[in-house]
Structure 1
Amino acid sequence: MLSAQLQEFALTRYQSRKAVYGPLWQEIESAIGDCTTDEAVLMRYLYGTMPVRDAGEYTFSVFLSYVRHSLWLRENVPWCRELAEDIFIHHVLYYRINTEEISDCRQFFYEQLQDRIHGMEPEQAVLEINYWCAEHVVYEATDGRTASPMTLFRCGKGRCGEESTFTVTAFRSVGIPARQVYTPRWAHCDDNHAWVEVYLQGKWYFLGACEPEEALNRGWFTVPANRAILIHSRMFSDFGLSQAEECIGQDGLLCYVNHTAFYARTGELAVAVKDESGQPVSGASVAVEILNMAEYYPAATVKTDDTGAARLMIGLGDVRIRAWKDGAFAERQAFPTTATDFSAADSLIELTLHRAAEDPGWPADQWEHTMLRAPQEHPLHTDEETAEQATRKAQRMQAATHIRAQRLAALYDEQLAAAYPEAAELIRVAGENTGELRAFLTRDDNLKRRQLLNSLVIKDGKDLRGEILEDHLSCERGSLPAEIYEQFLLCPRIWLEELTPYRSYIRQYFSQEEKERFVQDPDQIWKYIAEIIDYDSDMDYPTICATPLGCLKLRHGNPLAQKILFAAICRSLNIPARLNPVTQTPEYWRDGAFAVPAGFGAGAAAESGGAIEPDVYAQRAFEPDGEDQAQLAQGEALRTGGSAALVLQATEASEWKYGQTWSISKLEDVRFDTLNYADSSFEQGELELRLDPAVYRLITTRRLPNGDQLAAQRVFRLASGQRKTVEMLLAQADEGDLPVNRQLSDISLQTESGEQIKLSRLTNDRPMLLAFLGVGAEPTEHVLNELLAGASHWNETNTRMLLVLREPAERGNATLGKVLKTLSGIEVCYDPQLACAVAALDMGVDGTRLPVLILLSGGLTGIYACAGYNVGSVELMLRQLTV
């Protein structure tokens, strides 16, 4: 059944892993020996291409379950049997989709779906499966740890990266090739997004995960996608890579495929890299960076060829390109060219590498201004749904919402939440995992049980396991402050890793002599890790890291995994430890303060970019939403740290929001790594940061209503003991960039009491935000979360808000309920007469793309409007109110 080419590829890749799998090699070999011929080929393929850490985290039987299920599909399901081998291997067989925890789940999903799609053609089956997905999962903003498909099934809520992982799993479980597609960063607004593509009859089609439509190549994100700089997917090998798809390049073992041209107008970004003598540099890395969340995010990295050139097709917007090799680097702003712009020779963008980090005359330490243009709207997928399709979809979505809501309501344990109010939010999100919480909390009267749960983030309630938590109760507080004990000793979570019973394993792993030496001198722990744990970036998935157990089993782990292991060993030996919330540096508690282990950073491998997948919010650090923020409050201010002081001065403190209007990054080798000051704020116009001696970059940006950005950056060097003051600079928009006044029609709405009322009766001379919402759908959920994040600023404006829902049932949405409870000046109405379309037309936006936000300056005068996915729109409106 399997080709000779695949057999040879699998064997070669598998044998190349013998050294790194050393401790497990014989065990894997023995298990493969018990497999059938085809099973053995596919197991070798998986072990030869998977992120190395997976081999240390999961048992052979888990991977074998994927192989056996896919082979059964290949033999018994016609549409799977007809697939080309490479499509089958990459998009049906492969077990990993994102950074999710892996479990034996394909058979479970198949059993849920087989009767529902029996007798259907593939396209009809795809549409039906997405309705099934919507019946079980809905969007909810959350942190960057990717929950598994089984976790999502059990809890019913997840962010876009999790929804798409869940949906791809559903498709692959029935033999329909599927992949997760994403834009690492939008250009016209902050944040990013992930969705799904399926392969039918030789072509790829897109759809929104858990967001059903009555036809393929439709979704609320089609308009934002046509403004994207880059849209791509990943595979775990280049086996049989189709020439019809553009391979961007490889990062570790991942192969990235460029899909931008399927969604947006594109142009070629052609870069020529030279050294200081003017000679071309082959093999240099060239990163395409998008300004998003006030940082330059590397969306893709390609290599230069023998002529020193690198090319990439991207959307028609401004980017920053950065090139480096052997410690030398260079960067500049760039715009892709279309075929009619220039000749191929003229369109090359030149970068000359230099060793600026070693130049005492660099940097210039002055503000540099720039404007970055976002791609303009140019939809490529314009098919509109018929009235019949819209009606059918609305009816089916209403039914799906009812099914999901009933199921989740039945799973909520109100009595348990009342008995343990401090764990109420974990219980709320737990779904089917509530039993684990109940069993752990009620096993005995040990106070540590409550404290341990209180140390976790809300999302952990979805998939924590009692037997793992039991392992972490065995620690002693002694004279430690309560917050240090609970957060940095008792707590099993260190970063975004999977929770494991590492304490008992670590205590058994080391000899008594080693443990005593580590306790006496925790610096020896880092020395041990640096000597024992290896790392090969070519066998790694950069955005996922090994757990402490996996790291020790394989003696292999990326830099982040090594830092997590340090903290885990410390906590297992009753030493409080953490990763610094700003820099991710490993630290342990000593003499009333956190200390960095001696030797850390000396000869350390380059950072892999953290453990957060590029299709999630909060890329640079663990930045949870809502209630999680309070739970992660550290016992000290985030601004304490190094031996230099940077004092930032600002006149309008309310304008400065970290990760939105400003950021600061530290030069590490040849790139700037963004620090995490998400919880910082200017007090009386100043913010003091304690930093290590190094080169830093400040970035400020103002997002314009059309999506463009006015940016400024300042690069400077801090010396040990230096105290430097910088006045923050935020560019001001020209009058022509601001919205114009438009008069709205006096539309009719329905009050909560059922009365029909004209909009003019609901407005007065005060400004008002008129928001037509699509409650429960992803764009609206983002807007509601933005309102919660800016609640204090909103309440200061004394502005009214009119939230217009589609139907009364939406009033019960949990996120909407938080908004109504937290923000002042809100009224709720309904739109039975489709007034949204009229108001949107008056303001020149698309009324079919909810949410539609309209800012009224008073009466029926609209001064700003946006429709659909425009992250940051709430803050933009708040700025308009304070101009």
Structure 2
Amino acid sequence: GEESTLLVAALRSVGIPARQVYTPRWAHTDDNHAWVEAWADGKWYFLGACEPEPVLNLGWFNAPASRGMLMHTKVFGRYEGAEEVMSVTSNYTEINVIGNYAPTAKAIVTVTDGQGNPVSDACVEFKLYNYAEFYTVARKQTDAEGKVFLTAGKGDMMIWASKDGKFGFSKLSFGKDNELTVTLDKAAGDTFTADFELVPPPESAEMPEVTLEQRAANDCRMAHEDSIRHAYMATFMTDEAARYFARQYKLDEDAVSRILIASRGNHQVIADFMARLRSEKSKRGGLDLLQRISAKDLRDVTLEVLMDHMQSDMCKNPDYFRRYVRNPRVSNEMLTPYKGFFKKAVSKEEAEAYRAEPMKLVAWVARNIRVDKECNLGGAPISPEGVWKARVADAHSRDIFFVSMARSMAIPARINEVTGKVQLIGDDGAVDVDLDVQFQEEKLGQRGRLVASYNPIRSLDNPKYYSHFTLSRQIPQGNLQLLSYDEGDTDMGGGITWSNLLKEGTPLDAGDYVLVTGTRLASGAVLSRISSFCILPDKTTDIELVMRESRDEVQVIGNFNSESLFTPLSDDGSVIQQSLLQACGRGYFVVGILGVNQEPTNHALRDIASFKADLEKWGRKMVLLFPDEAKAGKFARESFPDLPSTIIYGIDTDGIAAQIAESMKLKHKESLPIFIIADTFNRVVFVSQGYTIGLGEQLMKTIKGI
């Protein structure tokens, strides 16, 4: 996203019309993507924001884009072009450009009430299954006849319609269903369960021709660009330099090294901040602040912001102070030095009154900050100082403003990352506050408990949030609001799973919810289930988490980081690590961990050799890794002369075998060989370990299935 914004600005600066194109979510896999279109010779051409190619209309995403269901872009002002208009604001028009990338179909949705009458001004959400939720990629209001329309790629979406607390939903297959009627036949408290098989559009990518000369010229440019970037990265702090710095200032070497290395190109700012903290108390507090903020903040936070938030007044609870007072990060805002500003803007007498009775601050914000959803159409939050000066903001910026103002007065506060609620933090825990109500009593919200049982399916003993299931709350209007639990870290693990969230139970606010589960098949299709349940105050609700599965189709059975590093074996003896993504390119690939001179490995390699022609025709890379350099030296390639030419040999210098064993729940980590088929969307669709009969045939069967 950021790189596409940069490229658009760069192209416009030299007179080339350009725009960012965005798919809010893929249909065939999780995640989203942004790229760039540039205008030349009377038409729009696309290019990757950060993946230079020899020609236009070429990127790693040609194939995924041909399976897309919706792409859009924003045009400033009113727009009178040929593309379908998605929405119009006072500043820009959002238009639908899916037709530039995939075959499309138009469908009309009619919303009716329980008596079959059309419902005008109903909200119709077009949803794709992505990250285990039904994510809204387009939202429209019905006309006087209860109708809306959308043009999309030829795949399946969930249609969710709502008005005044009533709602209904159904599957829509673009290209098959020209019309769909959705009835508002459900309301809060109703229970329902529905299964859907959602099929994405088939691949239909058109690849432009690239000559050998064009490819060679592009490779030269890439090498030059790599040298520029590597020269810059060489200026980043090393472990040795970071530890020397820590010794100079008598700081914890391990902590300082981790922080300075993570700060990358911003290391001088972080070092200057540490150097300014002279007292022992400041040193400890400064390190604690740096360990509290995210890796992204370390890379772009300013010295002014860090020094401002080190001046935070203490509150009674040291843990609350670190997390909910001194911490500069509230939500997704740009970090600013707001604490010094509010100390000047708010008198000491007022600050003391708010500290004594925080609900007075809630009432002040509700009375004095007007919410206008049209005032910030760009979406990026307004700074707390900006909200104070304007006294008007969108609701999200208003919420960030309140938390920032509270923290400036040493009042612990947060926006709950799961529910999105604004909360004051006290001795009794978190208290929800409603900034839309000027006068209210301080009280805890009513809560119940949710427990879910799970009967494991093949290769999935512990479903993961965002990968296999999500929870959403039904809000009064009839829409869904996702509970945004911690997703963990791709490399370090963690995150929310069935076992650590629902097996023993989790507290939830009283209300109506839906559980969405989904099994992604290797084809990109999804076997999903949506079911509702109610949380009652002081009660435990028991539900079942059901993962549907297919006995016939290839399905996604795990996750694997395609940017994992290994060291390719080179003829010239050079030792340069590469990621699997770099070595294999976008798409599917095979990774094998070999046990040298062991019969299971020898048998597996002979099986693979027997399918040499098929695997070479498939054309994807096979990365075969040795556990260490010594074992690589003992491998006799001449013993296996008929292996496919698509093989890349290397050494597992970065723990790929351990990652596979962990992610695939392999019981005997030392048992080799291990083979997986995965793709650069980090999906695993095949795993084999140890002695296996017919490995080549199994690989080809899976490959044909994908």
TM range (shorter): 0.7 to 0.9
Query: What SS is found at the alignment partner of 1:330?
Result: strand
List aligned pairs for 1:257-656, cutoff 5 A.
257-337=95-175, 347-353=178-184, 356-357=187-188, 362-364=190-192, 367-379=193-205, 381-412=206-237, 414=239, 417-418=242-243, 419=246, 421-445=254-278, 446-447=282-283, 448-477=285-314, 479-481=316-318, 483-541=319-377, 543-591=379-427, 593-597=429-433, 599=434, 643-652=447-456, 654-656=461-463
Deviation of 1:324 after TM superposition, in Å, equals 2.9
> What residue number does 1:676 align with?
484
Distance 1:724 1:825, change over 3 A: closer
* Residue identity matched to 1:734: R
Distance 1:325 1:252, change over 3 A: farther
Query: What SS is found at the alignment partner of 1:462?
Result: helix
Alpha carbons 2:160, 2:169 under 8 Å: kept:
yes
Which segment is superposed worse, 727-736 or 383-392? 383-392
**Deviation per residue, 1:477-528 (Å, 9 max, x gap):** 46524x4322222211111111111111112222333212210111222221
Within 2, Cα distance between the matches of 1:288 and 1:251? Answer: 19
Aligned residues with identical type, % of pairs: 30
> What residue number does 2:543 align with?
726
Alpha carbons 2:320, 2:412 under 8 Å: kept:
yes
Which segment is superposed worse, 451-460 or 702-711? 451-460
List aligned pairs for 1:705-854, cutoff 5 A.
705-737=522-554, 752=569, 754=571, 773-775=580-582, 779=586, 803=623, 820=656, 823=659
**Deviation per residue, 1:444-499 (Å, 9 max, x gap):** 32222222211110111222111121111112446524x43222222111111111
Deviation of 1:853 after TM superposition, in Å, equals 7.9
Distance 1:539 1:281, change over 3 A: farther
Within 2, Cα distance between the matches of 1:368 and 1:686? Answer: 23
Within 2, Cα distance between the matches of 1:534 and 1:735? Answer: 57
* Residue identity matched to 2:113: D
Within 2, Cα distance between the matches of 1:824 and 1:301? Answer: 40
Within 2, Cα distance between the matches of 1:571 and 1:595? Answer: 15
Equivalent position to 1:702, from 519, 538, 541: 519
Deviation of 1:281 after TM superposition, in Å, equals 3.1
Deviation of 1:556 after TM superposition, in Å, equals 1.7
Within 2, Cα distance between the matches of 1:414 and 1:821? Answer: 26
Which segment is superposed worse, 694-703 or 470-479? 470-479
Which segment is superposed worse, 584-593 or 662-671? 584-593
**Deviation per residue, 1:557-614 (Å, 9 max, x gap):** 22222222222122111122222221121222211522223x456599xxxxxxxxxx
> What residue number does 2:611 align with?
none
**Deviation per residue, 1:392-426 (Å, 9 max, x gap):** 22232233222211221124355553225424454
Query: What SS is found at the alignment partner of 2:374?
Result: helix
* Residue identity matched to 1:443: R
Deviation of 1:326 after TM superposition, in Å, equals 4.1
Within 2, Cα distance between the matches of 1:291 and 1:421? Answer: 42
Query: What SS is found at the alignment partner of 2:110?
Result: strand
Alpha carbons 2:462, 2:499 under 8 Å: kept:
no
Deviation of 1:864 after TM superposition, in Å, equals 5.3
**Deviation per residue, 1:132-187 (Å, 9 max, x gap):** xxxxxxxxxxxxxxxxxxxxxxxxxxxxx112112112112212111111111001
1:657 is the counterpart of 2:495: no
> What residue number does 1:196 align with?
36
Deviation of 1:642 after TM superposition, in Å, equals 5.3
Distance 1:527 1:772, change over 3 A: closer
List aligned pairs for 1:152-231, cutoff 5 A.
161-231=1-71
List aligned pairs for 1:227-246, cutoff 5 A.
227-238=67-78, 241-246=79-84
Deviation of 1:754 after TM superposition, in Å, equals 3.9
Deviation of 1:286 after TM superposition, in Å, equals 1.8
Within 2, Cα distance between the matches of 1:310 and 1:641? Answer: 38
Alpha carbons 2:415, 2:421 under 8 Å: kept:
yes
Within 2, Cα distance between the matches of 1:491 and 1:802? Answer: 46
Within 1, Cα distance between the matches of 2:273 and 2:528? Answer: 51
* Residue identity matched to 1:540: N
Query: What SS is found at the alignment partner of 1:185?
Result: coil
Distance 1:217 1:683, change over 3 A: closer
Query: What SS is found at the alignment partner of 2:582?
Result: coil
* Residue identity matched to 1:707: G
Within 2, Cα distance between the matches of 1:313 and 1:252? Answer: 24
Alpha carbons 1:183, 1:231 under 8 Å: kept:
yes
**Deviation per residue, 1:228-272 (Å, 9 max, x gap):** 11011123432xx13222211236855211110110011112111
Alpha carbons 2:516, 2:528 under 8 Å: kept:
yes
* Residue identity matched to 2:277: D
Within 1, Cα distance between the matches of 2:26 and 2:701? Answer: 16
**Deviation per residue, 1:713-758 (Å, 9 max, x gap):** 111222212211112111021324569xxxxxxxxx99626499xx
Within 1, Cα distance between the matches of 2:654 and 2:333? Answer: 29
Alpha carbons 1:851, 1:867 under 8 Å: kept:
no
* Residue identity matched to 2:182: L
Specify which structure has the bigger relative contact order, considering alpha-carbon pairs within 8 angstroms and separated by 6 or more residues: 1
> What residue number does 1:19 align with?
none
Within 1, Cα distance between the matches of 2:401 and 2:183? Answer: 40
Within 2, Cα distance between the matches of 1:539 and 1:553? Answer: 14
Distance 1:555 1:851, change over 3 A: closer
Within 2, Cα distance between the matches of 1:850 and 1:385? Answer: 25
Within 1, Cα distance between the matches of 2:516 and 2:471? Answer: 6
**Unaligned 5+ runs, structure 2:** 247-252, 487-494, 557-565, 593-603, 606-620, 630-651, 663-674
Query: What SS is found at the alignment partner of 2:411?
Result: coil
* Residue identity matched to 1:665: S
Query: What SS is found at the alignment partner of 2:227?
Result: helix
Alpha carbons 1:656, 1:662 under 8 Å: kept:
yes
> What residue number does 1:249 align with?
87
* Residue identity matched to 1:465: T
Distance 1:778 1:528, change over 3 A: farther
Q: Work out the number of aligned pairs and report it.
A: 596
Query: What SS is found at the alignment partner of 2:68?
Result: coil
Within 1, Cα distance between the matches of 2:368 and 2:589? Answer: 47
Within 2, Cα distance between the matches of 1:433 and 1:776? Answer: 29
Distance 1:273 1:529, change over 3 A: same
> What residue number does 1:861 align with?
696
List aligned pairs for 1:49-60, cutoff 5 A.
none
Query: What SS is found at the alignment partner of 1:660?
Result: coil
* Residue identity matched to 1:729: V
Within 2, Cα distance between the matches of 1:751 and 1:431? Answer: 26
Higher strand share: 2
Alpha carbons 1:253, 1:540 under 8 Å: kept:
no
